[in-house]
Amino acid sequence: MTHSFFTGVACGLLLLAAARLAIGHRRRDNRWILIVIFGAFLYLLRPLLKDVDPHLELLIDLPTMLIPGAFWLFTHQLCSEREQFPSWGWGLIGVELLIDFASQLHIHSFFYLLTQPFKLGLIGAGLATLLRQLQNDLVAERRLLRIALLIAIGSYMVVVVCAEFLFSYFPVPSGIAAMHALMASVLAFSACLWLLALAPNALDESLPPRPATESEEEMDSSIDMAPPIPEPLDDSQRELLERLQKHMDSGGYRKTGLTIRELSETLDAREHVLRVLINKYLGFRNFNEYLNQYRIDEASRRLASPKEAHLPVLTIALDIGYRSLSPFNAAFKRRHEMTPTEFRREQLPA
């Protein structure tokens, strides 16, 4: 009875969270988190469905099978600035789904042994994505969302996958099902509290906008949508902004491995004040993108200079603060849509 009650509570709260996210789906691409929520809803509901037809059972289990891959895709979408999801990642998700299908069809017990590590691997990739560049994230709501997902959702999913594997070979102790339903209810309540009360705009400000159709673009163009104007700077913020720009113009961005914490210490400023300044007033969502603005500007000038045509691209990359050639090439290509070598060849024809 307790199990059924808390399962019903969790399912109702998940539907409420999904409804809140679906409202903003026209503006923001919420598809992957909606798949995670729908899969969790069916996962919780599944034990209450008795004597289900095997074909219908497989159909009900399909959204649940999509959860690990959708979680990774959601975290990438949430955290990656203009980066495409890696093609090898799609391959791993596809392999995990094929193995999970084979396990559900009971083709061989070996597939069940394989699917659990694959699920943990995809969830782990999502957690690693949340952790990557957490310090460099300048959007306050998104940083809090990353931390919440790391602690709550990630831990819950890892515990569930490990428990499923363990209790496939050992008897399930009494009370475990009710405890799981209670845990799911608490997490679902926390998600609803976050989305509806504490930070109603957190996901809207963190997720990328959904690509607009031609009709939507025409509709938006007919409406004068002026961007929000930030509050005026006070004297201390204005003074800090001047010191920041002076420091960066003098080459402060060239320090290898520079972090926003180190920059705030150099400027004798509070870190959270500097974060807000760079995000709200300069328009950058990621600290590395802010550094890249200065670094790619200098690299572009030097690559186009005949006096430095003899310098290898790697030397220039190291001079302006990059640890290696790969991140420099990626940042440069995002700006110019060509590699540094192609840019130099175009600017300095033989």
Q: How far apart are CA 222 and CA 281, in angstroms?
A: 27
Query: pLDDT category, 11, cuts 50, 70, 90?
Result: confident
Site of tokens 């809090």: 144
Q: How far is CA 180 from CA 40, 82, 137, 158, 268, in A?
A: 12, 37, 33, 13, 48
Return the pLDDT at 85: 87
Identify the residue with better confidence: 322 or 202: 322
Low-confidence winner among 26-30, 99-103, 224-228 (lowest mean pLDDT): 224-228
Q: How far apart are CA 78 and CA 85, in angstroms?
A: 11
Q: How far apart are CA 203 and CA 24, in angstroms?
A: 9
Return the pLDDT at 169: 67
Return the pLDDT at 220: 46
Q: How far apart are CA 182 and CA 3, in angstroms?
A: 8
Return the pLDDT at 232: 72
Give the DSSP H/E element, type plus range, for residue 154.
none
Query: pLDDT category, 209, cuts 50, 70, 90?
Result: low
What's the angle, vertex CA 297, arms to CA 143 and CA 250, rounded to 5? 85
Class of domain 235-347: mainly alpha
pLDDT digits (tens, 9 = 90+) for 283-329: 888 899 999 999 999 999 999 999 998 999 999 999 999 999 999 99
Q: CA torsion 148→153→156→160, rounded to 10°?
A: -170
* Domain 2-206 = CATH 1.20.1070: yes
Low-confidence winner among 113-117, 218-222, 267-271 (lowest mean pLDDT): 218-222
Return the pLDDT at 211: 57
Identify the residue with better confidence: 334 or 43: 334
**Dihedral (CA of 248, 252, 255, 260) sign:** negative
Identify the residue with better confidence: 10 or 70: 70
Burial class (CB in 10 A: 0-12, 13-18, 19+), 247: middle
Percent residues over pLDDT 70 in the chain: 84
When pLDDT is averaged across residues 270-289 and rounded to a whole number, the result is: 89
Q: What is the token pair recorded at 347?
A: 């600017």
What's the angle, vertex CA 133, arms to CA 153 and CA 29, rounded to 5? 60
Average pLDDT of the chain, as a whole number: 81
Return the pLDDT at 58: 75
Q: Are 338 and 346 in contact (CB under 8 A)?
A: yes
**Is 33's pLDDT higher than 60?**
yes
Q: Are 275 and 140 in contact (CB under 8 A)?
A: yes
Highest mean pLDDT among 139-143, 218-222, 226-230, 324-328: 324-328
Return the pLDDT at 109: 77
pLDDT digits (tens, 9 = 90+) for 97-133: 999 888 888 787 778 778 888 888 898 898 888 888 7
Beta bridge partners of 209: 28
Query: pLDDT category, 219, cuts 50, 70, 90?
Result: very low
Q: Are 116 and 61 in contact (CB under 8 A)?
A: no
Q: Where are the domains of the chain?
A: 2-206, 235-347
